[in-house]
Chains A and B, each alone.
Chain A
Amino acid sequence: MFKKVIGAAVVAAALAAPAHAADVKPAVVYGTGGKFDKSFNEAAYGGAERFKAETGIEYRDFEPTNDTQGEQALRNFASRGFNPVVGVSFAWTSAIEKVAAEFPDTKFYLIDSVVEKPNVRSVVFKEHEGSYLVGVLAGLASETGTVGFVGGMDIPLISKFACGYAQGAAAAKDGTKTLRNMIGTTGAAWNDPVRGGELAKSQMDQGADVIYAAAGASGLGVLQAAADAGKLGIGVDSNQNGVHPGSVLTSMIKRVDLAVYNAFMDVKNDKFEPGVLALGVAEDGVGWALDDNNAKLVTDEMKAAVEKAKADIIAGTIKVHDYMTDNSCPN
Chain B
Amino acid sequence: MSAASAPLPRWVTYGLMPVLNLAVAFLISGLVVAFIGESPWEAVEVLLTGALGTGEGIGYTLFYATNFIFTGLAVAVAFHCGLFNIGGEGQAYLGGLGAALVALSLGDVLPWYLTMPVAVLFAALFGAAWALIPAWLQASRGSHIVITTIMFNFIGAALMVYLLVNVLKVPGAMAPETRVFAEGGQLPKLTWPFELFGAKLGAAPFNVSFVIALVMAVLVWLLIWRTRLGYEIRATGTNPTAAIYAGIPYKRMVIVTMLLSGGLAGMMALNPVMGASARLQVEFVGGAGFVGIAVALMGRSHPLGIVFAAILFGVLYQGGAELSFWIPAITRDMIVVIQGLVILFAGALETMFRPALARLFWRAPRAAAAKA
- Segment touching B, from A63-71, A140-148, A311-319: A63-71
CB-based contact B157/A72 at 8 Å: no
CB-based contact B205/A94 at 8 Å: no
Number of chain A residues whose Cβ lies closer than 8 Å to a Cβ of chain B:
37
CB-based contact A155/B165 at 8 Å: yes
Chain B 32-65: CB-based contact to A (< 8 A → 1; otherwise 0): 0000000000000000000000000000100110
CB-based contact B174/A93 at 8 Å: yes
CB-based contact A93/B286 at 8 Å: no
Q: Does chain B have a CB within 8 A of A273?
A: no
CB-based contact A113/B60 at 8 Å: no
Residues of chain B contacted by A66 (CB below 8 angstroms) = 286-287
CB-based contact B325/A73 at 8 Å: yes
CB-based contact A185/B287 at 8 Å: no
CB-based contact A156/B63 at 8 Å: no
Give, as a whole number of angstroms, the nearest-CB distance from B281 to chain A: 7
Residues of chain B contacted by A324 (CB below 8 angstroms) = 172, 174
Q: Does chain B have a CB within 8 A of A114?
A: yes
Assuming A60-B328, A61-B328, A63-B332, is B63 touching A68 (CB within 8 A)? Answer: yes
CB-based contact A155/B287 at 8 Å: no
Assuming A90-B175, A94-B279, is B324 touching A156 (CB within 8 A)? Answer: no
Query: In the complex, which residue of chain A has the Cβ closest to the Cβ of B60?
Result: A72
CB-based contact A156/B321 at 8 Å: no
Residues of B153-185 at the interface with A, using a CB-CB cut-off of 8 Å, are 154, 157-158, 160-162, 165-166, 169, 172-177, 180
A94–B176 Cα distance when bound, in Å, is: 11
Residues of chain B contacted by A73 (CB below 8 angstroms) = 321, 325
Q: Does chain A have a CB within 8 A of B195?
A: no
Assuming A75-B203, A186-B157, is B174 touching A90 (CB within 8 A)? Answer: yes
Query: In the complex, which residue of chain A has the Cβ closest to the Cβ of B336?
Result: A65
Assuming A66-B287, A67-B284, A155-B165, is B175 touching A113 (CB within 8 A)? Answer: yes
Assuming A68-B205, A153-B161, A186-B283, is B331 touching A63 (CB within 8 A)? Answer: yes
Number of chain B residues whose Cβ lies closer than 8 Å to a Cβ of chain A:
38
Assuming A63-B324, A186-B283, is B174 touching A156 (CB within 8 A)? Answer: yes
A184–B328 Cα distance when bound, in Å, is: 31
Residues of chain A contacted by B272 (CB below 8 angstroms) = 68
Give, as a whole number of angstroms, the nearest-CB distance from A4 to chain B: 48
A242–B283 Cα distance when bound, in Å, is: 33
Q: Does chain A have a CB within 8 A of B105?
A: no
Of the listed residues A68, A90, A114, A153, the one surrounded by the most CB atoms of chain B closer than 10 A to its CB is: A68
Give, as a whole number of angstroms, the nearest-CB distance from B337 to chain A: 13
Of the listed residues B174, B282, B331, the one surrounded by the most CB atoms of chain A closer than 10 A to its CB is: B174
Residues of A103-122 at the interface with B, using a CB-CB cut-off of 8 Å, are 112-114
CB-based contact B279/A68 at 8 Å: no
Residues of B126-143 at the interface with A, using a CB-CB cut-off of 8 Å, are none
Q: Does chain B have a CB within 8 A of A76?
A: yes
Q: Does chain A have a CB within 8 A of B227?
A: no
A34–B332 Cα distance when bound, in Å, is: 9
Query: In the complex, which residue of chain A has the Cβ closest to the Cβ of B89?
Result: A186
CB-based contact A69/B321 at 8 Å: yes
A301–B169 Cα distance when bound, in Å, is: 43
Query: In the complex, which residue of chain B has the Cβ closest to the Cβ of A110?
Result: B174
Q: Does chain A have a CB within 8 A of B238?
A: no
A114–B287 Cα distance when bound, in Å, is: 28
Residues of chain A contacted by B177 (CB below 8 angstroms) = 94
Residues of B290-347 at the interface with A, using a CB-CB cut-off of 8 Å, are 321, 324-325, 328, 331-332, 335
Residues of chain B contacted by A186 (CB below 8 angstroms) = 154, 157, 161, 283
* 4 nearest A-B pairs in the assembled complex, by CB-CB distance: A185-B161, A66-B286, A113-B174, A185-B158
Give 5 CB contacts A-B under 8 Å: A61-B328, A65-B321, A72-B60, A114-B174, A156-B174
| Given A62-B325, A69-B321, A91-B175; 10 other pairs, CB 8 A cutoff | A61-B328, A65-B286, A65-B321, A68-B63, A76-B325, A90-B175, A113-B174, A156-B176, A185-B158, A187-B283
